[in-house]
Amino acid sequence: MGFRSVKSLLVATFSIFLISVSFQGFAQNNEDGEAKTEEKFDPTTVILNHVQDGYSFHFFTIGDFHASIPLPVILYSPQKGLSIFSSSRFGHEGELTYEGYKMENNKIVAVDEGVKVYDFSMTRNVVQMLLVLTLFIILMINIGKRYKKGIGVTSAPTGVQNLLEPVIIFIRDEVAKVNLGSRWERYMPYLLTLFFFILVNALFGMIPGVANVAGNIAFTLILGVIALIVILASTTTHFWKHLFWPPGVPFLVKLILVPVELAGVFIIKPGALIIRLFANMIAGHIVILAFISLIFIFGEMSTVAGYSFSPFSVLFIVFDYFIEILVAFIQAFIFTVLTAIFIGQGFEGSDHDLHPGTHDGML
Amino acid sequence: MELLNPNLGLIAWTTVAFLITLWILGKYAWKPIVSGLEKREQNIADSIQAAEKVKQEMAALKSENEELLAKARDERAQMLREAKETRDKIIAEAKEQARQETNKIVSDAQAVINQQKMAAITELKNNVGKLVIEVSEKVLRRELASKEAQEQFIHELTSEVKLN
């Protein structure tokens, strides 16, 4: 009952949000829209603008009509203090100056040189991430309640439980238990959160017109850093002893091996996680945008070429979308499983009942 | 390159979002779900084990029953056999006893017959002797004139004598 009312509330808020956007679009007429249509089509800028973060949700521009949702800008500078205002203050092209701040290359800087600005704006990535996570948290709490009530424990699971249960069981059996031995239960909340955090953001990022959250380096960087913290927190003295003084290795080799191992733990492992996720998530979007851009590139050559190429382009885009869905699951899984493996390596061999892979099959 | 330059705001928000998500989901979703799944699997495993045990018990019970049945059948057969033996024995004994009884009755009867026969013979002998003595006495008392009259007389006497 509660879930239902929350859902309708969300729908209502979102509708109001959208309506206000359209009014916004009508209210603010700008002459710059005209000039842009005459510019030569530049795929690089278009693509990069789409995959990058932004201060507003910009859907499309038809003539003077800008369908976009302005988002709150939150800035802090030691000199000026905290300032919060709507991103629409900068105008649609970011050409205006407000409270001594201006937009420069899709970034907010102070007009005065030498004023340091810390930008904590609710960019479209942030807003979308929070929205998606709110929905996901509500869904998961609802499911959690059902398990608490005993549905799925003493009776068969129903509805959405059936959708998520295989995934949770898969993470538990194929990721946690295999790599973490008997300590699997302690890491389950982290691993599950990590997996679904990546998955829901990647999947929602595929909806046309929304931000590409999972394909942002800041997003993957934080996941990598958190993974590193968890990995380091679960290491044992045994692990560090082996790292700094590998047994059975000649002294001179140790001199080479130890720095390499250290770099592996602190830089290479998390770095690989960060770059892999980032590259995979952004690549799909770039490919899709490139195929769309191809239509316009052909269109610039001749209108006929543009129209005749569009079916092929759409075909490739559909194909790429399917791959993207697959990649979202695969990358979420890979990130999670690699994190679990690295955590497992941290306490491997410290006590002997923890050999990975020796878990008792529950059933 | 702008793409590879992580921006501070997103880093901060992602960190906050991840930690809050981790906390909320860890408390209200993953914990009940994982423990619920665990409990359910334990439940299923226990149920299967219990069913297996009951099955084994049933099988054991069945074989026990069959054993009991077989034993009962054997016992019945033995009882029947014993009853038959007893019956035969009783019949045989009865027959034997009857024969002995008969023999005894027959021998008793014979003994009685012999005894009476002997008594009869003795009586006859006594009677014959008495008779002879009476006849002799009569003969001696009468003086017989002639031989013919004597013979006549004897003849008379003898015809008078009737053996019993």
For the stretch A139-161, pLDDT in tens is 999 999 988 888 888 888 888 88
pLDDT at A2 exceeding the cut of 70: no
Is residue A127 less than 8 Å (CB to CB) from chain B?
A: no
**How many CB pairs (< 8 A) connect A and B?**
141
Q: Is the interface score ipTM higher than 0.85?
A: no
B109 to chain A, any CB pair closer than 8 A? The answer is no
pLDDT digits (tens, 9 = 90+) for B53-81: 999 999 999 999 999 999 999 999 999 99
> How confident is residue A123, by pLDDT bands cut at 50, 70 and 90?
confident
Instruction: Give the span between the Cα atoms of B1 and B96, in whole angstroms.
Output: 131
Q: Tell me the residue type at A284.
A: G
Q: Give the three-state DSSP class for B143.
A: coil
In chain A, % of residues over pLDDT 70? 85
pLDDT at A111 over 70: yes
pLDDT beyond 70 at A226 = yes
Region of A247 (left: φ > 0; alpha: ψ -120 to 50; beta: rest) is: beta
Domain parsing of chain B, residue ranges: 8-160
Report residue A115 as tokens: 């004023």
Shortest distance, CA A91 to any CA of chain B (angstroms): 21
- Residues A217, B17: C-beta atoms closer than 8 Å: no
CA nearest to A225, candidates B11, B41, B102: B11
Cβ contact A74:A82 at 8 Å: yes
pLDDT value at residue A246: 84
Distance CA A344, CA B157 (A): 158
Q: Is the predicted pLDDT of residue B103 greater than 70, yes or no?
A: yes
Distance between CA atoms of residues A77 and A118, nearest Å: 6
**What per-residue confidence (pLDDT) applies to A153?**
82
| Mutate: best of A126, A151, A194, A229, partner B, most B CBs <10 A | A126
**Amino acid (1-letter code) at residue B114:** N
Set of chain A residues whose Cβ sits within 8 Å of the Cβ of B4: 217
3-state helix vs strand vs coil in chain B, percent to 5: 90, 0, 10
Q: What's the gap in Å between the CA of A18 and the closest CA on chain B?
A: 23
pTM of the complete model: 0.72
- Kindly report the nearest CA distance between residue B45 and chain A, in angstroms: 7
- The answer to whether residue A32 scores a pLDDT higher than 50 is no
Tokens of A317: 């885009």
Q: What is the mean pLDDT of chain B?
A: 89
Quick one: which of A125, A21, A18 has its CA closest to A70? A21
Q: Which residues of B touch A193 (CB under 8 A)?
A: 18, 21-22, 25-26, 30
Helices and strands (H, E) in chain A, number of each type: 12, 8
Report the C-alpha dihedral over residues B32, B35, B36, B37, rounded to 10 degrees: 130
Per-residue confidence (pLDDT) for residue A1, from 0 to 100: 46
Which residues of A fall within a CB distance of 8 Å from B34? 168, 172, 185, 188-189, 192
**B146, pLDDT greater than 50:** yes
**C-beta pairs of B38-43 under 8 Å, 24+ apart in sequence:** B38/A362, B39/A153, B40/A152, B40/A153, B40/A154, B41/A362, B41/A363, B42/A362, B43/A153, B43/A154
Cβ distance of A145 and B17 shorter than 8 Å: no
A222 contacts B15? CB cut-off 8 A: yes
Q: What is the pLDDT of residue A11?
A: 60
pLDDT digits (tens, 9 = 90+) for A169-179: 999 999 999 99
Question: What's the confidence (pLDDT) of residue B163?
Answer: 63
Angle (nearest 5°) at CA B138 between B134 and B139 = 115
Higher pLDDT, residue B156 or A338: A338
Q: Are A2 and A139 in contact (CB under 8 A)?
A: no
- Percent share of chain A, pLDDT over 90: 34
User: Which residues of chain B does A106 touch, with a Cβ-Cβ cutoff of 8 Å?
Assistant: 2
Query: Which residues 38-77 of chain B have a CB within 8 Å of chain A?
Result: 38-45
Please give the Cα distance from A41 to A292 (Å, whole number). 12
User: Which residues, 6 or more positions from A272, have their beta carbon under 8 angstroms from its beta carbon?
Assistant: A338
**CA B83 → CA A222, A313, B91, B97, B105, distances in Å?**
96, 103, 12, 21, 32
The predicted pLDDT at position A119 comes to 86
CA distance A59 to chain B (A): 20
Nearest CA-CA partner of B15 in A225, A198, A113, A340: A225
B164 touches chain A (CB under 8 A): no
